[in-house]
Amino acid sequence: MVGASEIAIGLAIAGSGVFGHLAPGLHLAAAAALVVKEVALNRR
């Protein structure tokens, strides 16, 4: 789960660089994936 959410964060950040007009939504998606990652890390 940690690895998958990290991949999601990376794709969202890279996507915000490629598609600048979608950056606000992609940053929110990255933040959501970060929440998932932190929850998974704290459940270890």
Partner 1 sequence: MNVRPASFFDYKPRERVPFKQHRDPMAELREENPLSSQAFEVAHMGTDITLDYAHHGVAGMAAGGAALGVAAVSACWGVARLRSSALPDKIDGIGHLALAGSSGMHALEHLGGVHLPGGPALEVVHGLATVGLGVSELIRARQEGPAGP
For residue 27, what are the contacts with CB-CB under 8 A and spacing of at least 6?
12, 13, 16
Distance CA 17, CA 44 (A): 32
Q: Is 44 a binder of partner 1 (CB under 8 A)? A: yes
Distance CA 6, CA 1 (A): 8
Rounded to a whole number of angstroms, the minimum distance from the CB of residue 33 to partner 1 is 9
Q: Pattern 4-43, binding to partner 1, x per CB under 8 A? A: xxxxxxxxxxxxxxx-x--xx--xx-xx--x---x--x--
The site for partner 1 (CB under 8 A) is made up of 2-18, 20, 23-24, 27-28, 30-31, 34, 38, 41, 44
